[in-house]
Amino acid sequence: MTRYEDVRTVLSDYSVFSNAAMGMSDAGGLSQEEFERKRKGQLLAFDPPEHTHLRRILTPEFTMRRMRRLDERITEIVDEHLDLMERTGPGVDLVSHLALPIPSLVICELLGVPYSDRAEFQERASRQVDMSLPQHERMELARESQEYMRSLVVRAQADPGEDMLGMLIRDHSEVLDTDALTNIAGLLLFAGHETTANMLALGAYALLCHPDQLGWLRGHPEQAGQAVEELLRFLSVAHSGIPRVATRDVEIRGQTIRAGQQVLFALAPANRDPRFVDEPDRLDLTRKPTAHVAFGHGAHHCIGAPLARAEMRIAFPALLRRFPGLTLDLSAQEVRFRAHHVVYGVEALPVTW
């Protein structure tokens, strides 16, 4: 599905287009027991009402009100890394100095994951979603990631902290066992840094390639929230999501989809559908925010969207304010992109000022 309207139809109707129906067909050679353990607590592996129950447990940690309370800490983290950029430069890689460490540190603090482990889990996560690698290698990386999260869960179960993992253990241990906690924490850790890091880097690239828009945002930092929505629509760093499976025969625009067939949805073309938005290939930060699908839609709309928005809303204006002469340190055509990754982005973004 590539049209905006069709993508929203698929994502909103879980009774016809199911996440849970992927089942063992996507188990990668796992036994039934292994599959069920990896599925426990996985928001992406269930439809309502099971999904609703899991989401209700996590939602209080990602409300807009809770994110607003985090603004001060996010601002501190952003300023610390801008200070480091200033001391190191002029001339740094914006990915390693700003885009990656900000969301990584935020999600580590929220979850209770040691920030000292960031290099290891970031490297593993990046390779895990590199579709150019052999499947067996990516599966081994997934196993390593799960074992790492399990060790953190077991440690937290023995001594729950004040972080999100500690909260889940104290308040929901009767419904969330070690497997479920491991899977929940693993998903939040991956999604909490991988997607936002790529949006920060790719968003900076887009702004530097559109100096008129960069200038507008620098002059209107109070409109950063609106600008972030347009950047999300324009860039759509998450190509798709978990494929849905049709639970019955259904017809969309004359195309018959049979029960049991997989349905893929493409978020980037949906967000640039001319039937959805005028001049879709033009970056316009003054555009009225649209109901884009960069975070998905329906029951599986990204639970961490308020956190990602907060990080971008704070980071982009702060970066432009601190470095009024910010520019690419190479030509736009020389920037290398993560073409084979599940989450789109740039390999590096050398900048100077």
pTM of the entire structure? 0.91
204 has a pLDDT exceeding 80: yes
Q: Using one digit for the tens of pLDDT, what is the confidence trace for 244-301?
A: 999 999 999 999 999 999 999 999 999 999 999 999 999 999 999 999 999 999 999 9
Q: In this predicted model, which residue has the larger pLDDT, 136 or 269?
A: 269
Q: What is the mean pLDDT of the segment spanning 125-151?
A: 87
Percent of the chain's residues with pLDDT above 70? 97
Range ranked top by mean pLDDT from 15-29, 56-70, 224-238: 224-238
29 has a pLDDT exceeding 80: no
Edge-to-edge order in the sheet of strand 262-263: 17-18, 244-246, 262-263
10 Å CB burial of residue 263 (0-12, 13-18, 19+) is: middle
A 10 A CB-CB count for 28 gives 14
Kind of pairing, strands 350-352 and 92-93? antiparallel
Q: How far is CA 126 from CA 120, 122, 132, 287, in A?
A: 10, 6, 12, 32
Q: Which domains does the chain have, with CATH numbers?
A: 4-34+45-54+71-352 (1.10.630.10)
338 has a pLDDT exceeding 60: yes
